């Protein structure tokens, strides 16, 4: 018996020790802090690295989350980037297919990132563009609306919770760093690339929401980035496609563009992303976009604003920069580094850029001290996350840390609170459901309605492409309330051919809803946040026929109404996310109170802060309060 007891004790000791050892290999996200031991690790590691290894540390390239066999060519390319080019960081995204973003699963992402961490000599930094939370790239995670919806909501505490939840879900899958919040002040209604990605047009509100997000993200252990320095809000060009210019004087920069960046720096933001924009008031050289301008990066950002963290370029493969280096693409990385950037993001040609950097250091064009300065920043950042001690994530914890019901509900709550009613002629809203829920409907035959309402209510959903998800959640929720409502999906390719059908349905209808999906889309040819000619013409015809009985819902760009003065009923959600679609339908039917206020001014329509408030008229699901 004594021998059996001793054996049991030894087994328990070994099991406990193994369990503790296994637990120690996993990251433990928490408030970011650099210990003295971490600082020593960074300095010691720096001195051990070869020139080639140091250069690799200042690059970040794409990593597309999906299942990859170890012999898959795509995976072998990632391995080569680590082993041959010593890359120190990856930006996680997913594959795309035309207009489709092929979102992956959290487990697939975590498995791939863990595998790459195991392949690397040094711990890797993983970043992502989670502007609307992890759901931008991965399914099953908390869905948030666009940043401008937080401006419409107006609650500082909600922006803080946004940062915290995104951080918790990001760290659970192995992402340490978010390229957010967006500190751009969207003062130009025609801006094709910022728009709803910005919190709004007021520098103070933008700054407050940026600071709140940083605070929440840091609580969850995630690195943050403000972008796009020195401000991309007052531009009319997509810098993915060409050179955008900020044509304002220094006084304007100091009062509008720069304050949110100052606020972010004071709040301890970890990184600043520099834009591919020209700013003549700061650098008169027409070939100097901010990314390669020492005046803007080294002088303004680091010296004048006192930023000491990581300076990261916007993606180096964007046309706003590459057109300057078409004959020698590797020089883009060298010039950006010489300007003061520490991290070189997504070069158009990674091998050429890497080799150009190595040669620039060997020739003395870039001093070894300058290279060490940036590499030490990056290693120190890794140490502040504790990656030198534990670099893997526990995949078993994903099911408890990602997609929590209370977080999903919070994302919907923000979308609901953001809905803003700008115009109301008193004749259309709230819509009335044709069903009585909660058991109040009269008995009838299956698959039949109690009242013939066919074509009395028509919803026309305008999007860039009817094959995408845009409008699907809206259509489902709309029909859940009016099962025989006519829901018509339209895009620029089919709008002209469908005009007679749409207008006939509109003329016959008692009530019409036009939901317009226009959001900023990076790199879209002919990029604009205005409606395409064909769909815009159809919406105008619709309003010519039926403006008085039509409610227009801007599922994204709030400036839409400026192009259609006949709109009599106008509602904004500032986002096309599914939670915003749900919020829009609930608001249309009076199921939620409408409390949002415009975070931007709509030319000739309404000023910032405008918003018609309405109490909830019926309970969610269509049951009148009086019937409870």
Known catalytic residues are 314
Contact 321, 352 (CB under 8 A): no
Q: Omega into 430 within 30° of 0, i.e. cis?
A: yes
Distances, alpha carbon 195 to alpha carbons 147, 274, 304, 583, in Å: 9, 18, 28, 20
d(CA 344, CA 361): 15
The number of C-alpha atoms within 13 Å of 178 and in the hemisphere containing its C-beta is 32
- Number of helices and strands (H, E) in the chain? 21, 20
Please give the backbone phi and psi of residue 564, each rounded to the nearest 5 degrees, phi first. -135, 80
Q: How many CB atoms lie within 10 A of CB 380?
A: 19
Burial of residue 498, with CB atoms counted within 10 A of its CB: 0-12 exposed, 13-18 middle, 19 or more buried: middle
Sign of the alpha-carbon dihedral angle for 522, 525, 530, 532: negative
Instruction: Give the closest residue to 394 by CA, choosing from 7, 19, 99.
Output: 19
Contact 275, 261 (CB under 8 A): no
Task: Tell me the H-state helices in 27-97.
Answer: 36-48, 51-57, 73-83
State both tokens at 210: 């940026």
Q: Where are the beta strands (DSSP E) in 417-527?
A: 420-423, 457-462, 486-490, 511-516
| 490: DSSP letter | E
Three-state SS for 422? strand
Q: Where are the beta strands (DSSP E) in 396-531?
A: 420-423, 457-462, 486-490, 511-516
Contact 555, 478 (CB under 8 A): no
Three-state SS for 593? coil
Contact 158, 205 (CB under 8 A): no
| Longest CA span, the chain | 93
Residue 553's DSSP bridge partners are: 515, 571
Q: How many CB atoms lie within 10 A of CB 286?
A: 10
State both tokens at 141: 């995670």
Contact 279, 241 (CB under 8 A): no
Contact 70, 101 (CB under 8 A): no
d(CA 239, CA 527): 10
């Amino acid at each position: 018996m004594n021998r059996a007891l001793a054996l049991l004790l030894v087994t328990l000791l070994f099991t406990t020790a193994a369990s503790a050892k296994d637990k120690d290999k996993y990251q433990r996200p928490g408030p970011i802090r650099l210990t003295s031991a971490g600082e020593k690790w960074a300095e010691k590691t720096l001195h051990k690295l070869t020139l080639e290894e140091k250069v690799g540390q200042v690059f970040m390239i794409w990593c597309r989350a999906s299942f990859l066999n170890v012999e898959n060519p795509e995976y072998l390319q990632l391995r080569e980037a680590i082993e041959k080019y010593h890359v120190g960081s990856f930006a996680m995204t997913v594959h795309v297919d035309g207009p489709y973003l092929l979102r992956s699963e959290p487990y697939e992402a975590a498995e791939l990132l863990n595998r790459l961490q195991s392949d690397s000599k040094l711990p890797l930094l993983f970043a992502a563009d989670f502007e609307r939370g992890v759901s931008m790239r991965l399914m099953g995670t908390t869905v948030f609306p666009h940043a401008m919806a937080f401006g419409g909501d107006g609650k500082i505490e909600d922006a803080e919770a946004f940062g915290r939840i995104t951080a918790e879900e990001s760290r659970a899958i192995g992402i340490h760093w978010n390229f957010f919040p967006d500190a751009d002040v969207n003062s130009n209604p025609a801006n094709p690339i910022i728009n709803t990605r910005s919190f709004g047009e007021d520098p103070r509100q933008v700054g407050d929401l940026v600071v709140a997000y940083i605070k929440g993200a840091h609580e969850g252990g995630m690195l943050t980035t403000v972008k796009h320095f020195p401000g991309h809000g007052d531009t009319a060009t997509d810098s993915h496609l060409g050179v955008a210019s900020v044509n304002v004087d220094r006084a304007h920069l100091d009062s509008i563009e720069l304050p949110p960046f100052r606020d972010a720096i004071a709040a301890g933001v970890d990184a600043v992303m520099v834009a591919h924009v020209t700013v003549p008031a700061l650098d008169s050289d027409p070939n100097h976009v901010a990314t390669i301008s020492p005046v803007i990066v080294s002088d303004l950002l680091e010296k004048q604003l006192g930023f000491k963290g990581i300076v990261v370029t916007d993606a180096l493969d964007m046309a706003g920069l590459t057109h300057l280096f078409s004959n020698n693409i590797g020089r883009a990385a060298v010039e950006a580094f010489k300007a003061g950037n520490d991290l070189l993001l997504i070069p158009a040609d990674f091998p050429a850029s890497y080799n150009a950097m190595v040669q620039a250091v060997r020739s003395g064009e870039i001093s070894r001290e300058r290279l060490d300065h940036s590499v030490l920043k990056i290693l120190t950042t890794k140490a502040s996350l504790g990656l030198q001690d534990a670099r893997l994530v526990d995949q078993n914890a994903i099911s408890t840390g990602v997609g929590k019901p209370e977080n999903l509900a919070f994302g919907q709550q923000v979308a609901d609170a953001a809905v803003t009613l700008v115009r109301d002629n008193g004749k259309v809203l709230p819509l009335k459901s044709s069903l009585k829920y909660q058991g109040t409907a009269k008995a009838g035959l299956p698959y039949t309605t109690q009242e013939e309402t066919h074509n009395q209510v028509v919803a026309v959903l305008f999007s860039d492409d009817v094959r995408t998800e845009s409008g699907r959640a809206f259509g489902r929720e709309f029909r859940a309330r009016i099962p025989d409502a006519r829901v018509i999906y339209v895009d620029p390719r089919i709008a002209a051919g469908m005009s007679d059908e749409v207008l006939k349905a509109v003329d016959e209808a008692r009530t019409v809803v036009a939901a317009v999906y226009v959001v900023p889309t990076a790199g879209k040819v002919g990029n604009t946040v205005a409606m395409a000619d064909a769909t815009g013409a159809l919406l105008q015809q619709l309003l010519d026929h039926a403006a008085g009985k039509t409610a227009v819902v801007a599922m994204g760009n709030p400036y839409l109404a400026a192009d259609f003065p006949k709109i009599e009923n106008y509602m904004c959600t500032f986002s096309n996310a599914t939670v915003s679609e749900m919020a829009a339908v609930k608001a249309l039917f009076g199921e939620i109170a409408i409390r949002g206020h415009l975070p931007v001014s709509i030319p000739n329509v309404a000023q910032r802060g405008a918003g018609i408030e309405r109490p909830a008229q019926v309970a969610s699901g269509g049951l009148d309060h009086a019937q409870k």
